[in-house]
Structure 1
Amino acid sequence: MSYSNKYIFATLPRTQRGQPLVLGGDPKGKNFLYTNGNSVIIRNIENPAISEVYTEHSCAVNVAKYSPSGFYIASGDQSGKVRIWDTVNKEHLLKNEFHPIGGPIKDISWSPDNQRMVVVGEGRERFGHVFMSETGTSVGEISGQSKPINSCDFRPARPFRIVTGSEDNTIGVFEGPPFKFKMTKQEHSRFVQAVRYSPSGSHFASAGFDGKVFLYDGANADLVGEVGAPAHKGGVYGVAWSPDGKQLLTASGDKTCRLWDVETRQMVSEFVMGSTVDDQQVACLWQGPHLLSVSLSGFINYLDVNDPTKPLRIVQGHNKPITVLELSKDRSEIYTGSHDGNVTAWTVTDGTSKRITGTGHGNQINAMRATDTTLFTCGIDDSLRQVNIESKSYTGDVLALGAQPRGMDVFVEDNKVVTATVKEIIVAENGRKISSIPCNYEPSSVSISTNGDVAITGAGDNKVHIYTLAGSQLNLKKELEHLGPVTDCVYSTNGKLLVACDANRKVILYNAEDDYKPAHDQEWGFHNARVNSVAFSPDSLKVASGALDTNIIIWSVSVPNKHLIIKNAHPQSQITRLAWLDNETLVSVGQDCNTKLWSVNGI
């Protein structure tokens, strides 16, 4: 019995309005870095479907940067902790851990010889610190600025300099080592969001909330001039230099990115990224031939220098916890829905993603089911909506449910949708309600068998309620008792078995053909916390369960005492939903916003 992680369809960067985001570039040119929650995401820049997730921080990570050698990554978190870990080993062994400031770290920069590091942020007693990356020994003080520091950079050539950009509207210049305050530059009239040296160190650029970008001499910090006048109509969140130092890329809250000629300080081209608030540009990175920007939505845009009208590629997905999961009928696509109401379609073969367009729920989606042509979704806006699978957009068909839906399934034979809300169980057909029965328990999920039996789990009364669907009417057939709130249930593909899981850590298998008696005496109770989701393999021979304990367990139906545990399947994050792509491939989603594909063999 074995398992391996086949793919990770990684989370997007976690963004926040009015806050710059920092992307980390790889000196070897292969990957780029960003953060979401407790995770650092390492993504292949050529093929962003290839990704890795580092999850060793105990609180939210704000920034991660490669060392100039490319062998180490330093990541800084909300508590002021910096972890330095290696990039060579798959386990990403920890080299050092330091606590240079007593508050959120906002930016990190390495010296070009890999030996020194500067971190800045919102410390209680200081806003930044310079130290040796091997020992943590102090090699200077970051002082002279009166408010939190958003950005810092090390000059990549001798004599070493450090520049910092602060919320007191100033740029701090430091000389060393040991690094001492030299001066502040006061050209900006609002928060300074980003400071970055050119690759040769001959200049540095600063960007601010005032929409301005300034160029300075890299050695003595004299003002060379302003880029554009001003560079943008909105705040500038990021600047990135071209590898040859001749051009500058800027990202702004005015929903554009702009390319500038450094010598003339004139605009070369403009990338208009959209017209909604989500199209604000909060970060940029120039790595080799790739120009990247990040939208407030979290989307990663690959900009096209030859055609500024549209990006070469947009990496889409989620940056909020994923609550629902469904597969297309031919199992070529995975659909995921998140806490913020967004739905993404993923192509299984290459991991490409597309956000479902149109008017959706606008907030958490609680259930999702697919037929050949339609994806049904229900959310806590108390509605049932439909997505056209071919066009990947909401159709505009909306059924008001009158109460919050907790579960839903489709009886494919005649396209009836059964939705369980906190007040009633509704049967709908062709977008209209055709019958309903009151619900005196709080439901949590719905599953419909091929023979028309409907199982609805009760989170309020610890029961699985079995109904028969005759025409448009639901009739109660049987109730199955559990020892805790029942969280999920699903019928096997052949309709012969039903599996249900509960908050009492148990997974119970029932024989649907024998009056729903337990299918075996073996107790499936190896989870350490509430079980959130269960799923049958297509051949009905395996059951997967995912829980609050971050683990997935694969159970054998034919040999009940045989099981396989995937420990920490989504580290530091509960598993919310599971589905089988085929008899050997399992899909899992969790609160870490990642979608993972697992190969499972020998059970």
Structure 2
Amino acid sequence: KKKKKKKKKKGKMPERRKLKDGSHEDSVLSLAWNWEYRNVLASGSADKTIKLWDLEKLLCVNTLRHHTDKVQSISWNPAESQVLASGGFDRRIHLSDLRSGAENSVRWELQADVESLIWDVHDPTSFLVSCEDGVVAKYDTRLGGGSKPLWSVQAHDKPCCDLSLCPNPAAKGLLATGSMDKTVKLWDMNNLKLSSTLKMGTAVEDMQVGCCWVGDYVVSLSLSGNINFLDLGAGSVRTQVMGHTKSLVTVAADCFESGDRFFTSSYEGKVCEWDASAGCKGAAMVHTNMPVSMRVAEGGKKLHSCGFDDTFRVTSLPLSGGSTAIETRKLESLPKDSCYSKSTETSCLLYEKKVELVKGSTGGGGVFCSLDLTQECSSCAISPNGSLVAVGTKQGKVLVYALSNGALAQDKTLERHRGEVTAMRFSHDGSMLATGDSNREVLVWDCGSGEVKKSRMVYHSSKITCLSWSPSNDTICSGSVDSNVIMWPLDLPSSKRTTLTLAHQEGVKGLEYISDTKVVSVGTDACCKIWTKQ
């Protein structure tokens, strides 16, 4: 008899986020809160539907299926709270009076896909629409469905992504438009004349995808995620709020530097420079793929980083967009980690089975020492004076090498971890080494004796991803895949730890002390957070 083959058990699929009954089946492209019934929210989706939600009951109470393509824009009438206008990629505008039934609507046909639709706040019987062909038009609902526009203008050469009317009655007729042509324009709709144009840049990320009035000024949104406060009268940007729009992977800071400056990088290679009190001060695309590690170097004048684009880069500070000076060295393979010694200005680069020491910038002394390793490695650290290099292995060992006469020689092997050593950091005085593993444990070692100085730090529930020492070397901070940050005082038992629960929803990717009382953390939720010790 033939033996029956045993079926292989399939790995358990991760659970999908549970959605409310009646939820959209594709991307949500637009939202509109009802101004009178504050518990009612309308949503337009790429699944071609509009849904009405009762937020008190968390229920979908109605679904409108008027459109045959993506619903790009929706808006409640400012005078009649049960009248909803919608525009979509089916080149149609639908006007729905929910008092007469959700299945009924009045329709207008357009020549291009709808990008944005708004009601005229000064004349609620009419609405304005911007389209993919750059045309902006105004319609009067009293003329009925299918009626011609009251007027139309070729506002932009490329899609007009958004438009906004000035709500001030004294400035009735002022219209702001933003476009993929990278401009924001101000129009006098009383005379159908262009008043001013502000060019926001030349790069793809300078496309203007949103705009609205705030007082007497216009705020626009760039494709990069930058929020721009504009003075269209003066033709200038008053203030620009920058940051990340994608998952953050690393953070760098020098806690002994004056001020609260730190740097963050996201997985597409963008680096932002921050001031803890003033926000983002600058940004630049430093890598073309996910950065692995980043350190403030050369007296705070440079950033040393390596990434999955197989490069080691030295970036001049401050960051200044496309004009930022970046030196690049192509690496021989994918880097696993990197670290930096301030006193010797040496970067340590770790590959899977090799470690390199690089002196100064890429154009400086270059690699002056390298060592092939026999074990697969995943993390590294270099002591502040550059005399010791520690390497964490996938087998749970910490290999400590001493640097002498330009060569690395193994000094100690530290064995206590029960999983891959995923993070490590020397204390600022070089006397201690903190290590974390995939089995959620943090250990602190005495560098002189090689003995464990502090243990039982096992209160994370998943892999340790990052470590940082306080400037006074009396506290070690750890971040984990479990979304938590924990502060461990060395002179107190582990039960006296401070836990920042759910610091980052999808996991903590990096953290740094910027002072004895402030810690910066980053995560895959695209947020950087500053924590202050009370």
TM-score (norm 1): 0.77
Name stretches of at least 5 consecutive residues in structure 1 with no aligned partner.
Answer: 1-57, 60-78, 82-97
- Alpha carbons of structure 1 residues 294 and 442: separation in structure 2 relative to 1, 3 Å: farther
Question: Counterpart of 2:474 in structure 1: which amino acid?
Answer: L
Asked if structure 1 preserves the Cα contact closer than 8 Å seen for 2:35 and 2:81, the reply is: no
1:578-602 deviation per Cα after TM superposition (whole angstroms, max 9, x unaligned): 111111211111111111111124x
The corresponding residue for 1:261 is 188
Question: Counterpart of 1:238 in structure 2: which amino acid?
Answer: D
Asked if structure 2 preserves the Cα contact closer than 8 Å seen for 1:285 and 1:293, the reply is: yes
- Alpha carbons of structure 1 residues 113 and 159: separation in structure 2 relative to 1, 3 Å: closer
The corresponding residue for 1:383 is 311
> 1:176-215, aligned counterparts within 5 Å?
176-180=98-102, 181-189=104-112, 191-200=113-122, 201-215=124-138
1:63-111 deviation per Cα after TM superposition (whole angstroms, max 9, x unaligned): xxxxxxxxxxxxxxxx875xxxxxxxxxxxxxxxx74644433222233
- Alpha carbons of structure 1 residues 137 and 443: separation in structure 2 relative to 1, 3 Å: closer
The corresponding residue for 1:271 is 198
> 1:290-439, aligned counterparts within 5 Å?
290-308=217-235, 310-328=236-254, 329-332=256-259, 333-356=261-284, 360-371=286-297, 372=299, 373-390=301-318, 392=320, 394-430=324-360, 431=362, 432-439=366-373
> Alignment partner for residue 147 of structure 1, among 49, 69, 82?
69
CA distance in 2: counterparts of 1:586 and 1:395, whole angstroms: 29
Deviates more, 1:495-504 or 1:204-213: 204-213
- Alpha carbons of structure 1 residues 440 and 271: separation in structure 2 relative to 1, 3 Å: farther
CA distance in 2: counterparts of 1:226 and 1:422, whole angstroms: 65
The CA deviation at 1:525 is 0.2
> Alignment partner for residue 541 of structure 1, among 449, 474, 480?
474
Asked if structure 2 preserves the Cα contact closer than 8 Å seen for 1:80 and 1:102, the reply is: no
- Alpha carbons of structure 1 residues 434 and 225: separation in structure 2 relative to 1, 3 Å: farther
CA distance in 2: counterparts of 1:364 and 1:248, whole angstroms: 40
Give the secondary structure class of the aligned counterpart of 1:177: helix
CA distance in 1: counterparts of 2:164 and 2:19, whole angstroms: 25
Give the secondary structure class of the aligned counterpart of 2:205: helix
Asked if structure 2 preserves the Cα contact closer than 8 Å seen for 1:120 and 1:128, the reply is: yes
The corresponding residue for 2:433 is 498
The CA deviation at 1:194 is 1.3
> 1:477-516, aligned counterparts within 5 Å?
477-481=411-415, 482-514=417-449, 516=450
1:553 aligned to 2:486? yes
The CA deviation at 1:207 is 1.5
Question: Counterpart of 1:296 in structure 2: which amino acid?
Answer: L
1:254-300 deviation per Cα after TM superposition (whole angstroms, max 9, x unaligned): 11122222222322211211111111111222232341211111111
Asked if structure 1 preserves the Cα contact closer than 8 Å seen for 2:133 and 2:158, the reply is: yes
CA distance in 1: counterparts of 2:353 and 2:228, whole angstroms: 44
The corresponding residue for 1:163 is 85
CA distance in 1: counterparts of 2:338 and 2:491, whole angstroms: 29
Asked if structure 2 preserves the Cα contact closer than 8 Å seen for 1:258 and 1:271, the reply is: yes
Question: Counterpart of 1:106 in structure 2: which amino acid?
Answer: L
CA distance in 2: counterparts of 1:219 and 1:164, whole angstroms: 17
The corresponding residue for 1:3 is none
| Displaced runs of 4 or more, over 6 A | 136-140
Give the secondary structure class of the aligned counterpart of 1:413: coil
> Alignment partner for residue 525 of structure 1, among 458, 462, 486?
458
Asked if structure 2 preserves the Cα contact closer than 8 Å seen for 1:130 and 1:141, the reply is: yes
Give the secondary structure class of the aligned counterpart of 2:279: coil
The CA deviation at 1:196 is 0.9
The corresponding residue for 1:40 is none
Give the structure, 1 or 2, with the largest relative contact order (CA under 8 Å, sep 6 or more).
Answer: 1
- Alpha carbons of structure 1 residues 138 and 421: separation in structure 2 relative to 1, 3 Å: closer
- Alpha carbons of structure 1 residues 252 and 442: separation in structure 2 relative to 1, 3 Å: farther
1:235 aligned to 2:168? no
Name stretches of at least 5 consecutive residues in structure 2 with no aligned partner.
Answer: 1-15
CA distance in 1: counterparts of 2:45 and 2:508, whole angstroms: 33
Asked if structure 2 preserves the Cα contact closer than 8 Å seen for 1:100 and 1:119, the reply is: no
Question: Counterpart of 1:377 in structure 2: which amino acid?
Answer: S
The CA deviation at 1:251 is 1.5
Asked if structure 1 preserves the Cα contact closer than 8 Å seen for 2:422 and 2:438, the reply is: yes
Question: Counterpart of 1:382 in structure 2: which amino acid?
Answer: D
Asked if structure 1 preserves the Cα contact closer than 8 Å seen for 2:49 and 2:66, the reply is: no
Percentage of matched positions with identical amino acids: 24
Question: Counterpart of 1:292 in structure 2: which amino acid?
Answer: V
Give the secondary structure class of the aligned counterpart of 1:312: strand
Asked if structure 2 preserves the Cα contact closer than 8 Å seen for 1:140 and 1:179, the reply is: no
The corresponding residue for 2:394 is 460
The CA deviation at 1:474 is 1.8
Asked if structure 1 preserves the Cα contact closer than 8 Å seen for 2:343 and 2:386, the reply is: no
CA distance in 2: counterparts of 1:337 and 1:136, whole angstroms: 36
Larger Rg: 2
1:282 aligned to 2:196? no
- Alpha carbons of structure 1 residues 146 and 178: separation in structure 2 relative to 1, 3 Å: same
